[in-house]
Structure 1
Amino acid sequence: MTVGVRALALSLAIASALSLHGCGRSEAQGGPPMAPPVSAAPAVARDVPLYDEFSGRLEAVETVELRSQVAGTLQRVHFRDGQEVRRGELMFSIDPRPFQAELARLEAQLVAARNAAALSDTELARTRKLLEQKAVSQQEAAEKAEAAARNAASAVRAAEAGVAAAKLNVEYTQIRAPISGPASRANVTAGNLVAAGDPVLTSIVAQNKVHALVRRQRARPRLRVRSQFKGNAAPKVQMALADERGFPHTGSVDFVDNRLNPATGAIRVRAVFDNPDRRFVPGLYARVRLAGGTATQAVLTPERAIGTDQTKRYVFVVGPDKTAQFREVQLGALAGNGMRVITGGLKAGELVVVNGLQRVRPGAPLNAQVLAVDAQGVPVEPPPPGAPAAPAASSPTKS
């Protein structure tokens, strides 16, 4: 066989092999799509306590800015910055000598006024005796002696008021804590001249209790809170800080505002919490949860099983033919443990895709692993290969 014939035969063989390979690929591409592996769990029906969750800020129950009520030279600061102070404890001293001198002057005026009043009383008594003896006219005695006695009594009262005001000014030279709590830093040091009312010397924040103020609560939860007030019982509320899971702290609602904000439709609700260990610092962000009643036999599915398509919420249900069914659903409240109440679009017992949602397409076949659920309806994930088996959970509900 010549070289040309061999080359032609080799070319035909290669072309035939490529043609057969291409046909095989075409058949493979045109076959049915593979079913993606997913995990599914049955939607369950449970009696669910409902909650309304909101965000808010912690605020102090009592906050005081200490200012001087008299002008003078600051003599001494009696606390350390950040110190815990008690109510009535001395915080600042202002030089009292000018005020003590003024008090002494006014006390001397009071003594003089009282002496003048005593003299007027003596003159009035003498005049009355003369009236009995008809030595003077009755009109003269009534007009002069009685008027002098009244003027003297008024002068005594004015002097007493001046002395009382001077004593207050002397007391104001010692600035004391009106509440108990940690103090801020001293904004003015000894030797400075301070005016009455300015500047702020320091501030004290009471922290044995704190308020959680929800500023943007909706009207419906507000009406439910109103309806829960019965006698002296206040609705309970739960709270968590930004770094906490769940809602570990319990308090009570102590204030619901009397009107809605007409611009936002929001209303303010305030709760109070005990703070014995000073964990709650005013200004911290907090999550607040209010009880909202109980939903009877509500349909539940895991929150992670719910997808978002613009304004729609949906789930994928494993149909009887093992294909994915797209279901638009209406959401209710969170029910805890990552479960969500479904108010429409889903029935109890239907298998909902909970893992692998991104691999699912409407109408596509599914290779679904059905998960068991616990007593609360939460899917129980299978242990990884080689791990010890988890305690047995309740069997999945059949659709």
Structure 2
Amino acid sequence: MKKILVVGAGFSGAVVANSLAKTGRYLVEVIDERSHIGGNCHTEKDPDTGIMIHKYGPHIFHTSNEVVWDYVNRFDRFIPFVNRVKSVYNGQVYSLPINLHTINQFYGKAFSPAEAIDWIKEKGDKSILDPKTFEEQAKKFVGEELYKAFFYGYTKKQWGCEPADLPASILKRLPVRFSYDDNYYNDRFQGIPENGYSYVIEKILTHKFITVKLNEKFSNESRSNYHHIFYTGPIDAFFSFHHGRLGYRTVFFKEYRKDGDHQGNPVINYADESVPYTRIHEHKHFTPWESFDKTIYFEEYSKETSEVDIPYYPKRLEGDLKILKLYEEEVEQIKNVSFLGRLATYRYLDMHQIIEEALECAERYLEKDVPV
């Protein structure tokens, strides 16, 4: 049997490992430098309260891909969950994404959908024909007032720079709706695994031809020991950063515990620039099918990623993309390593996209590596 190394025990690595192991043709070794599986999706039960904690921030599974939805439900029951995010601005609580209720509340109106469309069109900056920056995109979409209220302060805290310095593509993930639909996502399927994401990934990795080693870092010196390597770590780290480090934002959390309920919602954003944290997530609200007398909530703060921090969000600024191109040119010259996942491809990917790409990556590999 051929030996395969998978670097990273998150969704990318787990899905590839499972796809290869179940063919019976490979012995798959999965390593991760952390002390747990799951990557940034890692969840664990708090021993004192029994609340399921999203250790690295909120994760709500959503997809319109039925294949991906059926795949994850093989490993745990995904209970339907609608993500209804709120935002606090200037002492008021609003619904996100911006919807008809947000618009009417903000402007003190009772618009119909058609009236709201006309109102926002009038507010939009008509001088911006081809928005190049986050700020231009927002002002073109919703105008100066809504931009300042819901995007400016939050984005400046999240990315550590002026929104005018960020590409317009970041904002394209944030919809504006002219109905009272406050579901944060548009996808057909939305849910949270009953037993947590780490349980799902543990089940994916449970196979007689898969071994998992934690607290183990990848070394390029080991490449010759394996028929093929699937690498899901940072692409710049694979090449020892010799073209420079790619820019990421990271987050850290301050944890609080109390009796009762803190905010009555899973996630509330804080849009005012004067509030140092970007949002608060209260974990018991991610499992509304359970009830608890106590609560645990995290304040989330954003900062630049140092050498010892966990990278979260690829910045993809002009300088980053130049460095990325140099690394990608080197990737093309390597024959026995596949790069996949958010860090290895330096893209923002949601869980469903990561799973879909991992399934496709494994399928392409198996088509080429045909038994003799």
* Same fold flag (TM > 0.5): no
TM-score bracket, normalised by the shorter chain, equals under 0.3
| TM-score (ref. length: structure 2) | 0.20
Report the structure, 1 or 2, having the larger strand content: 1
Name the TM-score, length of structure 1 as normaliser: 0.19
